Amino acid sequence: MKYFIFVICLSVLLLPVMPVVAQNSVLKEAATLLNNVGEAAYGVKEAPKLPAVVGKIINIFLSILGILFVVLLVYGGYLWMTSYGDEKKVTKAKSLITDATIGLIIILIAYAVASFVVTSLETATTGAT
């Protein structure tokens, strides 16, 4: 199970790092064409600000951690239900559920801090209140 979780975490972390093989002029031409199509379809939109992009990345990362919490909680419940009264398995399941709950609390605190920091950065850089 640890190997499976390790492989999933590793593939999620390496997914954004996959290299793009293309020439610079082709990328610029493609970007220009896509911008023209976007402007024709939706009108001119300004590029998103850096704090907003960072906030979205943090939210995605914390969402993945939340999904991992649910998986660990279900796995802990499964272990408990299939323990058949074996005290060792019940203790392991309780420990897993407790650790997952503590992890959820840490995730919620991290979300609150990240939300505050990103909002403060956005307010400071744009001047909006």
Neighbours of 118 (CB within 10 A): 20
**Ordered per-residue pLDDT tens for the chain, 129 residues:** 777 776 676 565 655 544 544 445 666 777 777 777 766 666 666 666 776 777 788 888 888 888 898 899 999 999 999 988 889 999 999 999 999 999 889 888 988 888 888 788 778 877 665
Task: Give me the helices (H) in 15-86, please.
Answer: 24-42, 50-81
**Strand, helix or coil for residue 44:** coil
- In the chain, where the domains are located: 48-126
Q: Output the pLDDT for position 115.
A: 82
Q: Report the pLDDT value the prediction gives residue 23, as an integer from 0 to 100.
A: 46
- What pLDDT, on a 0 to 100 scale, did the predictor assign at position 6? 67
Residue 66's closest CA among 109, 28, 23? Answer: 109
- Give pLDDT, residue 126: 73
Can you give the pTM of this predicted structure?
Answer: 0.54
Residue that the structure tokens 């969402």 belong to: 63
At 57, the amino acid letter reads I
Lookup: tokens for 24: 């610079």
DSSP 3-state assignment of 67? helix
Per-state percent for the chain, helix, strand, coil, to nearest 5: 85, 0, 15
